Amino acid sequence: MTSGGYFATRFGLDETVLRRVIARALDRGAEFAELFAQHRVNDAIGFEDGQVNRASTSVDLGVGLRALVGDQTGYAFTEELTEEALLAAADTAASIARGPRAASMGAIHGVALPALYAPVPLWADVPVADKIRFVERVGAAIAGADPAVVRAGVAFADEDEAILVANSDGLRAEDLRPMTYLYASCTARRGDRVESNSHSASGRLGAEMYGDAFLDGLAEETVRRALALFDARVPAAGEMPVVLAPASSGILLHEAMGHGFEADFNRKGTSLFCTMLGRKVAADFVSIVDTALEPGARGAIAVDDEGTPGQRTTLVENGVLVSYLHDRLSAAHYGVPRTGNGRREDFRFAPLPRMRVTTMENGPHDPEEIIRSVKRGLYAVDFANGEVDIGGGDYSFYVKSGFLIEDGRLTAPIKDVNLIGNGPDSLSKIEMVGNDKAIDPGTWTCGKDGQSVPVGLGLPTVKVRAITVGGVS
Amino acid sequence: MARAKGRGAIDLERTAVAAIDGASRRGIPDARAVVERSRSVSVTYRLGRPEKVEESARRGLTLVLYDGGRYSVCETNDLREEALERFLDSAAALVRATTPDPFREITDPALYAGRLERDLGTHDPSIAALTPTERHDLAARAEAAALAEAGAEAVAAEAGFEDEEGELFQAHSNGFAAGRKGTRFGLYADVSLADAGDKRPSDSEFASTRSFAALPAPEEIGRGAARRARGKLGAAPMETATLPIIVESRAVGRLLGKLLAALGGRALQQEQSFLAGALGTVVGSPVLDVVDDPLLAGGAASRLFDAEGISARPMPVFARGVLEGNYLDTYYAKKLARRPTTGTWSNVVVTPGGKCAEELMRGVERGLLVRGFVGGNSNPTTGDFSLGVFGTLIENGAPGRAVAEMNIAGNHKELWKRLIAAGNDPWPYGSIRSPSLLFDAVQLSGSGAG
């Protein structure tokens, strides 16, 4: 598909229309105007009690118009793609400004984008019967895996998404993004105890993701996670060293640091990291990056939702905070290049600085040595949700399963415990970083200001000297 | 600012009925259709001027198809007639591709009976008269009051006003047809203050109401945000201990919501609920008295019928600690061989007690006033929970210093039995309407080993 082709061909958003609509948004004195068009077709299949029990599909189409004057934003959208409706939305967005026309529309030009995934329509051509087969295979494998299993649940979804960004600088970029995930859950009973757990995988991939071996492996891991909980206990409460296992422990970065690095919070002075740029915030061997360039990853984007090409951004380099995550507004405020983090849930929202795939780079330590260094602490393996208070820095994330560390060895399995700490404090207490970085393939979705976006995260094995473990006595 | 005019305005009822007819013409015997439309405007102020002005006009059709146990849910926001025909074709093809499930049936029409014709106070026609100037003024006043109250320690403030009007029409192939409309007005303010080190504690005050007149003055919202932020200055963990806690009314929803999650039909039937089979048994202390009241005047979630067309009626959920109600939609009720109630909460009303929050505090020698939650989780299968919290230390019956970076943990099966008093201060702005709650002996973790 050539640049500019998808929306011009299907919805008539050709150069002439784009020019007219964007020019209208500049009419009242805005310095910058932007059109964001989006078309998504999402399908989902559910499995429960031995059979497929629901199928759903959703079609979403619309265009958002944004006008900027300094750091002031006017925003409107339309779900009708007639030129009349687009011009009306442009008028509404334009009214943030109150003056004569000050800027003009630049010559339309494309932009080179990295190839990170196969372009859509990708899932539109996959028969429903194939998707049903993925779900049934996983469901049957879970149900038949162990006599203790009483329920198996599977949810599958796929999406073909196309976006178009065109702005008053003349930039025009299209991105055709596939997405899929498969989520499996297992409930098991032993005596009068019932435990359930889940596992999932996601990526900007097509049906090739779901080979038989992959599906069987996902089912097996789901069952293993559920059954492991029977032997696990909620650990004792209190402050202790925590060793984070590779991959999904990246939630620590996402919550404890990543959100605080989002430049809108810093521009407005609400993040406690807003005075820390250039400062040493962690040990020399700690480097943190946020990247769009992870092929096929859930958080990968060839271009952000305001037209900045996908790129890799170093946030912490050898322990020093070197950059925030920028969108257009914050980059202009700080006078720095955009980092490609301007993302939005859909055309109904103005973009905000958001994470993509956030990871810590490998460090100098051997993972075994890291565990051996802990006399008494926690080894955290699987995670669920997390949250952060941007200004105070307190974050928490939930450990679904892990192990106690006693005298340098993993001992009793643990479950269901929340870890709570303070971002800069925990960053400064990272004592060891392993050389086994992995990106978690799970279905991570980040929420901010009422907008959800798909993200990725990863980490090597990391030791934090002390985190509060919300256990029981 | 002029509102975008209703170009190509759709007739909700006509579109819903056309969708049902279209499904029927394609040989799908049973269908439910909901067509919705809403408009909203939001104005955000920062540094004394507009930060963001957003207008939105949404619409959409949700079509649920039942074909001999086959089931599908299809949604679109492209409501042009020719697009709808294509949508119906693919919806019919999708439902035919699935396998029959004997428990999937459209709502029993007997459950449509008895629908009240009552004004629930959910729509305020005065919304049509709101002007852009008034909207800006409300946001600006809230921000100005926040800054004034925060004083020299303020490092940032933001405030906003939002109003929304929505309507829907719902039609089912077996005789249900009804519509409703509603309005919502919201005001909020956020304040960040300078604190020791690099910390900039922030908090917000907000209100959301169905009628414009019920909204508090913007100055009250702004000052409230500043006072709440001030209450977080100098926050630090307290000791790891088992102590009484008071959960402030506004924060109760996050905790009570975790308990309600175990009462949904899916959780119960899929054995992912620690309350499976607990109907009629004691789950909490006699203070735990909760009614699901869809008919509450002006309630955030008030309704005369639910998503399945079931006529709304109040449902006791807990009566003096005894579990009395489950949330069962048609599908899971059938799987459980029970009668459907409703699949979704409406207004969850916790019966207040006689004391104000200060009086509740007076009886606590040492404990924690929980003012909010930070992350954490609750496992509906086992009832285990572990939640990050912040708030205010309670010492000798009075509020002390700010507390943060703490966690509470336990199991819902024990927690609600330790509920010893409810305050008289229900928070009126959400679908969970609860007063402050005092619990005895809750495990807190903070600094130091346990």
Final residue of a structural domain among B230, B259, B288: B230
pLDDT of the residue at B17 = 96
B157 is a domain residue:
yes
Inter-chain touch B386–A95, beta carbons under 8 Å = no
Chain B residues closer than 8 Å to A196 by CB: 271-272, 379, 381
Q: Are residues B197 and B274 in the same domain?
A: no
Nearest CA in chain A to B274: A194
Chain B residues closer than 8 Å to A53 by CB: 71, 101, 103-104
Nearest CA in chain B to A468: B446
Q: Are residues B29 and B86 in the same domain?
A: yes
Q: Say whether residue B271 is in contact with chain A using an 8 A CB cutoff.
A: yes
Contact B272, B406 (CB under 8 A): no
Final residue of a structural domain among B201, B230, B259: B230
B6 is a domain residue:
no
Final residue of a structural domain among B170, B200, B230: B230
Host domain of residue B224: 12-230
Q: Please tell me which of the candidates B50, B58, B384 has its beta carbon nearest to residue A416.
A: B384
Lowest mean pLDDT among A166-175, A379-388, B34-43, B348-357: A379-388
pLDDT of the residue at B81 = 85
pLDDT at B326 exceeding the cut of 90: yes
pLDDT at B6 exceeding the cut of 50: no
Query: What's the per-residue H, E or C state across A234-265?
Result: CCCCEEEEEEECCCHHHHHHHHHHHHHHEHHH
Over chain A (473 residues), what is each successive 10-residue block's mean pLDDT? 74 95 96 97 96 95 96 95 94 92 90 94 93 97 98 98 97 97 98 94 97 98 96 90 95 92 93 94 97 98 98 98 97 96 98 97 98 97 88 90 96 92 94 97 94 97 94 76
Mean pLDDT of B213-222: 98
| Beta strand pairing call for B437-445 and B419-422 | antiparallel
Rounded to whole angstroms, how far apart are CA atoms B40 and A81? 19
Q: Are residues B241 and B217 in the same domain?
A: no
Q: Are residues B256 and B364 in the same domain?
A: yes
pLDDT of the residue at A237 = 87
| Closest by Cα among A17, A442, A39, A52 to A248 | A442
**Structure-token pair, residue B411:** 């199991």
Question: H or E stretch including A215?
Answer: helix A212-228
Inter-chain touch B57–A91, beta carbons under 8 Å = no
| Closest by Cα among A199, A197, A158 to A181 | A158
**Cis (ω within 30 of 0) for the bond into B237?**
no
B24 is a domain residue:
yes
Q: Are residues B251 and B192 in the same domain?
A: no
Rounded to whole angstroms, how far apart are CA atoms B177 and B107? 13
pLDDT at B1 exceeding the cut of 80: no
**Alpha carbons within 13 A on the beta-carbon side of B85:** 2
Rounded to whole angstroms, how far apart are CA atoms B254 and B261? 11
B81 is a domain residue:
yes
Q: Are residues B185 and B247 in the same domain?
A: no
Provide the mean pLDDT of chain B: 95
Rounded to whole angstroms, how far apart are CA atoms B158 and B48? 9
| φ, ψ of residue A253 in degrees (nearest 5) | -65, -45
pLDDT of the residue at A472 = 80
Beta carbon pairs, A and B, within 8 Å? 290
Contact B216, B203 (CB under 8 A): no
Q: Are residues B189 and B257 in the same domain?
A: no
Q: How many domains does chain B have?
A: 2
Q: Give B350 to chain A, closest Cα distance, Å.
A: 27
Domains of chain A in start order, with CATH, are: 5-231 (3.30.2290.10), 238-470 (no CATH)
CATH code of the domain in which B47 resides = 3.30.2290.10
Which residues 358-387 of chain B have a CB within 8 Å of chain A?
Answer: 374-377, 379, 381-382, 384-387
With a CB cutoff of 8 Å and minimum separation 6, the contacts of A157 are A42, A43, A44, A45, A179, A180, A181
Rounded to whole angstroms, how far apart are CA atoms A298 and A177? 10
Contact A40, A159 (CB under 8 A): yes
Provide the percentage of residues in chain B whose pLDDT is more than 70: 97
Strand partners, B184: B164
Say if the ipTM goes beyond 0.90.
yes
Inter-chain touch B232–A392, beta carbons under 8 Å = yes
Q: Please tell me which of the candidates B52, B232, B407 has its beta carbon nearest to residue A73.
A: B52
Mean pLDDT of B391-414: 96
Provide the percentage of residues in chain B whose pLDDT is more than 90: 92
Q: Are residues B201 and B90 in the same domain?
A: yes
B4 is a domain residue:
no
B5 is a domain residue:
no
Chain B residues closer than 8 Å to A80 by CB: 7-8
Strand partners, A41: A59, A160
Torsion-angle region of B256 (φ positive above 0: left; ψ -120 to 50: alpha; else: beta): alpha
Contact A182, A210 (CB under 8 A): yes
Q: Are residues B201 and B265 in the same domain?
A: no
Q: Are residues B101 and B37 in the same domain?
A: yes
Torsion-angle region of B341 (φ positive above 0: left; ψ -120 to 50: alpha; else: beta): alpha
Q: Quick check: helix, strand or coil at residue A310?
A: coil
**DSSP-derived secondary structure for A412-448:** EEEEEEEEEEEHHHHHHTEEEEBS--EE--S-EEEEE
pLDDT tens for each residue of B190-199:
999 999 988 9
Q: Are residues B205 and B252 in the same domain?
A: no
Query: What's the per-residue H, E or C state across chain B?
Result: CCCCCCCCCCCHHHHHHHHHHHHHHCCCCEEEEEEEEEEEEEEEEECCEEEEEEEEEEEEEEEEEEECCEEEEEEECCCCHHHHHHHHHHHHHHHHHCCCCCCCCCCCHHHHCCCCCCCCCCCCHHHHHCCHHHHHHHHHHHHHHHHHHHHHHEEEEEEEEEEEEEEEEEEECCCCEEEEEEEEEEEEEEEEECCCCCCCCEEEEEEEECCHHHCCCHHHHHHHHHHHHHCCCCCECCECEEEEEEECHHHHHHHHHHHHHHHEHHHHHCCCCCCCCCCCCECCCCCCCEEECCCCCCCCCCCCECCCCCECCCEEEEECCEECCCECCHHHHHHCCCCCCCCCCCCEEECCCCECHHHHHHCCCEEEEEEEEEEEEECCCCCEEEEEEEEEEEECCEEEEEEEEEEEEEEHHHHHHHEEEEECCCCCCCCEECCCEEEEEEEEECECEC
Q: Give A189 to chain B, closest Cα distance, Å.
A: 9
Lowest mean pLDDT among A101-105, B201-205, B421-425: A101-105
- pTM for the complete prediction? 0.94
The CA distances from residue B409 to A417, B106, B288, B313, B441, in Å, are: 8, 41, 19, 35, 11
Question: H or E stretch including A202?
Answer: strand A193-203
Nearest CA in chain A to B239: A238
Q: Please tell me which of the candidates A80, A150, A470 has its beta carbon nearest to residue B409.
A: A470
Which residues 133-192 of chain B have a CB within 8 Å of chain A?
Answer: 155-156, 158, 190, 192
pLDDT at B320 exceeding the cut of 70: yes
pLDDT of the residue at B449 = 54
Inter-chain touch A392–B87, beta carbons under 8 Å = no
Rounded to whole angstroms, how far apart are CA atoms A312 and A289? 7
**Structure-token pair, residue B314:** 């109040």
B28 is a domain residue:
yes
With cut-offs at 50, 70 and 90, classify the pLDDT of residue B3: very low
B210 is a domain residue:
yes
Q: Are residues B184 and B295 in the same domain?
A: no
pLDDT at B287 exceeding the cut of 50: yes
